[in-house]
Structure 1
Amino acid sequence: MNSKIFINFLTVVFFTCILFITFPAMAQIPIKGTQLAFNKFNAEDAGAALDDVSPENLQKKIKESRKDGSSLNIQQEVIKTKQEVFPQNLQQEVLELKREVQRMRDENEARKRLEVPEEEKSKSVEDILSAVSRQYTLLKKGTVGLGYTFGYSYYSGDVITDRVEQRSNHNLTNTIDTEYAILNNLTVSANIPFAYKYNKVGTSSSQEATDFGDISLGVQWQPIKAGGIYPTTILSAGVTFPTGSSPYKIDPSNSLSTGNGYYSFSGGVSLSKTLDPLVAFGNLTYSYGLEQGGLSQYWKSMGATLTKVDPGSAIGFAIGFGYALSYQASLNLSTQLTYSFGSRYFFEDVGVYESGSSVSSSFNVGTGWRVTPTRSVYFTLGIGLTINDPDFAFAIRVPFEF
């Protein structure tokens, strides 16, 4: 009896397991069928469930959902989600773009503040060149320029008389220069120097002289407009008059000269070019002295009287560069060299004596200071490089414009 009950129980369990295995396989959605089985649905419920998930019913439900607008609601929710997400991303990108544009604007403004305006840059270049020499700049049309220059130079060396003695020469020069601009590219000028010289040999002998120097007139012309690839070019010409005391009309043992003693003509070309941040410059000059006759100066060394002098000619050049330290200060360095051809001296009853050629050279350091927006002061220090040059020379110039 107990055996039959046990066998019947095993049979029920066996068929139940078969049912649990085969029913989900018959259903096209296994999870749904498994859930129905575990929830102890009957066969009718299972069949209804199968019908509910069949492809035909699914198609029907989709059509019904389209009719009652449920799919539209789904689409609206999707669109709403996109509208909530995408505008946030777009707004963030716009804000980042605005920040980037503002940063670029700030950098551009800072760069503009650091950049030197063209007018200020032109004025700075003019100050640099004016600190070097007047031959590198011109005035604007109708402008009158007036300047004062104080110069000092010192020579030293040994003089052999009955013994070797130290010789020292002190030269002080005060020069008034005037300029007038006929055109923007044409300027005429005049220099009027007043000199004081003091010469001392040893401890006892000394000489001094105070007189006008040689007055000169000049003209400057700029044929090519500044700018572009070409350097600024200024042509110059001048004449010097023997207004100072002539070295050929004094007693050399008792007096000193303040001029050259002859007429001379000069011409040259000056070039300058901005090589940011430097300004390069240079010039080439040629001068020719006219013969000076009607002299009557006795030379002890020759034992004869000098009657005429042919000073000959000289050629020189200079080169250097300048740099603006700030809006108010500039610095320039340059070197110059002059080659003088031989001179001829005519003596009565002796003949002609020809001197050899000579070379003079110096190294110069200059600076310019803009003390006010319209006023500048220029300083120059020169160091002689040959025995024909002063040991050192110093000059200060204050220009005015009206």
Structure 2
Amino acid sequence: MNAPDTLFCTPRQHLPRGEEFLFLPPWIQPYAYRIVDQLFAHRVIRRGPAPRPLSYGPEIDPRYTVDGREYDVGGFMDRNAMTGVLVIHRGHVVVERYGLGLQAHDRWSTMSTVKSMTAMLVGAAVHDGAIKSIDEPLTKYLPALAGSAYEGVSLRHVLTMSSGTHWVEDYTDRTSHVNRYSKSLADRVPGGVLKLMASLERAHPPGTTVRYNSGDTYLLGAALTKAVGMPLADYMSEKVWQPAGMECDGFYTLESEGGQEIGGSRAGMVLRDFGRFGLFVLNDGVIDGKRVLPEGWVEAAATPAFKVPASPVVDITHYGYSWWLGDGVMSALGHSGQRIDIYRKEDLVVVTLGAFPEPAYAPPGDHNRRNEVVAFTRAVRTALA
């Protein structure tokens, strides 16, 4: 017979550890990327009462060839561990596919594609007059950074990853800055990320060198929060989510319970709402005739600020306002295969979501999956030409 103080077994769900987020094995990634809001503190981006249905057109059948073998959409997804593919051309969905268990109303991790979305919100704040100029100093909004390496750094500098601070974005090194940042998020340490950022050293004069830095976008989001006087998730809901008719709530992850949103990674949304955000940008930040972004903001975001010295993918050459740029494309890129491609002249949005294996688990001689996404996207453009 059990003693009175014995605890009986109760059913519990086992969740991956948040601090392992950048080291997950392939058999956990597709699950973890669907439940990021259970792994980290988060704040909901509320949808409006009337979601806007997408329009559907005739389905296309893009095909591309690699190493002498042809692949269709299904083959592309199987070969590259893709979970979602959405193609919107001239306002009509022409491809919508789900894989690896992802369902239409599952929210998938944005990874760093949300950096590009947060950058659009900066434009909304400029349009609203909450930010007078992106050349204002970052310390105007974040005085805790006074005297740090961010003294003299402007909003423009963090918007274009040119703060000049020394930052190591190495996902395989547990001691790198990005993994210390990730550990702080997992531990939900109040003020932990800001403390980390204030401790950085200066490597280059601000505005002279591009260096990819997820912490820069955290600071951009924190400054934006101060400027608009409301949580980032609420501002996103007010300016984009509700007016654009997103069909599901999204979320931003937070640095701690009830704390600051992480403007540059690990948000969550459904595939079709990725696409709706792409349409918002494609439409120059205008929704139902109402301008949300300043006239010319999208063009400025798509104007090269820096040449990318070591391009992560074959079609990317430059960096703008937190958007990766190439020949006719502005791209939001995220870890492990997340990508939003916007071809403004072709009236085309391509969203590809994936679960690319982490380096420790990649097969020997694994092909370049990012470049294969480019091959697929080129096949889409050819099919639509």
| TM-score interval, normalised by the smaller of the two chains | under 0.3
Alignment TM-score, normalising by the size of structure 1 = 0.21
Which structure dedicates a bigger proportion of its chain to strand? 1
Structure with higher Rg: it is 1
